[in-house]
Chains A and B, each alone.
Chain A
Amino acid sequence: MSWWTRPLVRVVAALLLPIAVPAVLTAVLWVLPGHPAEIVCPPGICDGTEALAERWNLHKGPWHFFSNWLASALRFEFGNSWRAQPGVPVAELLRQSIPETTKLLFLAMVPLLTGGVAAAVGWLPKRLDPVWQAVGLVPAVILALFCAAQVQIEYGAMSHDGWPATLRLLLGALVLGVADSALSGAIIGTRGVFEAELRQRYIQIALLRGETPLSNALPNVLPALIGQFRARALHIMSGTVVVEVVLGISGLGELLFDGTLKQDFGVVLAAAWAFSLLSAALLLLQGLLEVAVALWVRWAPAGVVSPGEEGA
C-alpha cells in the first residue's frame, strides 16, 4: 500500500461523511415499517400525515427528500424548528450553538494534549497510571453532575452569562477531558506508542550517533498519535451532549438532545449534520497531517550523502 493511500481514503471519507449522514437517515426512514411522516412525527403527536409528508418533502420518495434536504443544507437553510424552539430558524440555532461546542471541544483537548506530551517526554511516572485509570472510570454524567451542583450553589440555577457561563464551559471541558478514560487513554496510549517505538533498533543506533531518541521517534509515531487523538476528539464530541445538557451549555449537543426528546426531526437532522461536518473536519485534518508527516519523513535530511556521491 502506498503511503498516500490511507490519507486519500480519509479525505474521501471526510467528503462523503456529510452526504452519508442524511443519506443513511433517509434510508432508515424508508426502511422502517410505517409511513416516513409517521416516523418523523408519530400520530400521537401530529395529525395529518399527508400534509406533513408534503411539508417535509417526504411525499415523493426518498430521493426527492434527500436531494431537497441536501440542497437546502448546502445553502444553510434548514427551515424552522417546530417543537424544540417553535418558530426559530434551525440555521439560527446552529449558528448560536456551533461556536459553544467548538470552544468546549478545543478546551477539552487541552488536558489530553498536556497529558500526552507529558507522557511522551517522561514527565509523568508510570506508577501514576492507576490513578488516571481510576479517575477515568467515572462516567461523564457523574462528574458533570457534581460540577453543575457546584455552579448552581455558587451562582444559582439561572447563571448562564459572564463568569458563571465561562466557568460552566471550563468545567465542562475538564469533565470531557478527564471522564470516561479520556485522560488515562491519552497518557497511557501516547506512552505505549512511544515505548514500542523506542525499542526499535534504529533508535539505539541514533543514540550511538549522539542524537535524541525523541527527534528520531517522533516522525514515525506521529501518524499513530494523530489517529489516537482524532479518536479521542470524536469521543469528546460524543460526550458534549451529556456535558452540555447537565451543565447548561447552549451547544450543539444540547440542541440535538432537545430535538430528540421533543421529536423535532428538522433540528435533529441539522444538528447531526453539523456534527458530521465537525467529524469530517477532523478526518480531513488527520489526512492532511498524515500527508505532512509523510513528506517530512521522506524529506532527505541535511548531511545525508547518497552512496554515489560518497564515492565521488
Chain B
Amino acid sequence: MRSSWKRTVALAIGLVFLAVLLLMSFFAPENLSTPTALIGGEKGPLEVPPFGTDERGIPLLEYAMQGARIVTLPSLVSGAVVMVLATIAGLVRCAGLTWVDSGIQFASELVGSLPRLVVVLVVALVLPVEWKNLLPIGIAWALLAAPGAMDEAAATAGRLGGERFVEALRAHGFSGVRIYLYHVVWLNLRPVIVRQGAEVTMQVVFLEIALSYLALRRNVPSFTHSASEFSWATLLYQGYTALLGSPLIHSLFTGLGLVALTAAMAQALRMAARAR
C-alpha cells in the first residue's frame, strides 16, 4: 500500500513537472523583449518576478521559456524512440526470434563501442544546414543509447522466461495481444522502458545545455537551435559570469533550477514506473 502511494505521488510530481515544461514551451515568445539597457539593467526576482532580469533588462523567464521550447519536443521524441526500441527488443526475446535477437546484440556491440558525444558532434557536422536543430541530434543520441536499453529490456524479458512465459500464458487462454502488450510490456517491461525513456529525455536536455554552453564559450551560435533563440545554457553562462563577480547570481539559480526540474521530472517518472 505504502509503495503504491509512493508511486502515485511520484507520478503526480513527474506529470506536474512535465506539464510545466510543456506550458513553458507552448507559451514561449518568438523573440526576447527589447533590451532596456546595454549593461547594468539586471534586477532581482523580487523586483521582476519570478526570476528577475539579465544585465540588459530582459526577463529571465523569457530565456527559460525559449529554452524549454528548444528542448521539450526533441527530448520527448528521443525518449520515445528509446522506449519503442527497448519494447521491440523485449518482445523479440519473448517471441523467440533468435536470429533477430542475435542481430540486435551484434549491432548493440558495435554501436555501443563509440563515445556518444563524439558521434553526436560528427552528426552535427554532416547535417545539412537546414536540418541543424536538436531533434536529429537528440534522435542520434537516442539511437546510441538504445543498445543499452534494448539489452536491459531483453534481459528482463529473458528472466521472465521469454518464450516459455508466452507459452504458459497462451495455455491459460490469453490472446497474443493481451500477452505481449499487457503481461509482457505493461506488467513486466514497463519499469525498464520508462526508466530508460526518462533517462534519455533528461540526457537530451542536458546534451542541449552542454552543446549550447560550449558554443557560448566560443562565442558562436549553437547547432541545436537558431541564432535568434536562447537556450537554458545562456542562463548558466550568465551564472558563470556571476561566479566571476557580475551581479547575475539569480541567473545561475534559475539555470540550476531548470536543470533540477528536468532531473526531478525524470526521477519522478522513473520512480512512478517501478515494479510492484
Give B contacts to A, CB under 8 Å.
106, 109-110, 112-119, 121-122, 124-129, 148, 206, 209-210, 213-215, 217-218, 220, 223, 233, 236, 239-240, 243-244, 256, 259, 263, 267
Contact = CB atoms under 8 A, between A and B. Distances in A.
Contacts of B213: 141, 145, 246
Interface stretch (A108-116, A209-217, A260-268): A260-268
B13 to A, nearest CB: 15
Interface string A16-41: 11001100010011001110000100
Contacts of B206: 139, 141, 180
Interface in A245-294: 245-246, 253, 256-261, 263, 265, 268-269, 271-272, 275-276, 279-280, 283
Nearest to A31: B126
A78 to B, nearest CB: 15
A174 interface: no
A272 B118 contact: yes
B55 to A, nearest CB: 17
B217 A245 contact: yes
A20 B125 contact: no
Contacts of A231: 112, 148
Contacts of B233: 141
A79 to B, nearest CB: 16
B115 A246 contact: no
Nearest to B209: A141
Q: 4 closest pairs, A vs B, by CB?
A: A149-B243, A238-B115, A238-B117, A141-B210
Interface size bucket, A side?
A: 35 or more
A173 B156 CA distance: 34
Given A44-B129, A239-B117, A13 B122 contact: no
Contacts of A141: 206, 209-210, 213-214, 233, 236
Given A146-B243, A149-B243, A276-B114, A268 B125 contact: yes
Contact of A139 (B110, B214, B215, B259): B259
Contacts, number: 121
A131 to B, nearest CB: 15
A269 B110 CA distance: 18
A259 B220 CA distance: 13
B126 A29 contact: yes
A261 B126 contact: no
Nearest to B205: A139
Contact of B243 (A153, A235, A263): A153
Contact of B118 (A20, A140, A142, A241): A241
Contact of B256 (A17, A142, A239): A142
Nearest to A36: B126
Interface string A149-177: 10011000000000000000000000000
Contacts of A146: 243
Contact of B113 (A13, A139, A153): A13
Given A139-B210, A246-B214, 17 more contacts: A9-B106, A9-B109, A10-B109, A21-B114, A25-B122, A42-B129, A142-B236, A152-B244, A237-B118, A238-B116, A238-B118, A241-B121, A245-B218, A257-B214, A261-B223, A268-B121, A272-B121
B124 to A, nearest CB: 6
24 contacts: A13-B113, A17-B114, A20-B110, A25-B122, A28-B126, A33-B128, A42-B128, A42-B129, A141-B213, A142-B236, A142-B256, A145-B240, A148-B240, A149-B244, A152-B244, A231-B148, A235-B115, A241-B121, A241-B214, A261-B220, A272-B118, A275-B114, A275-B115, A279-B115
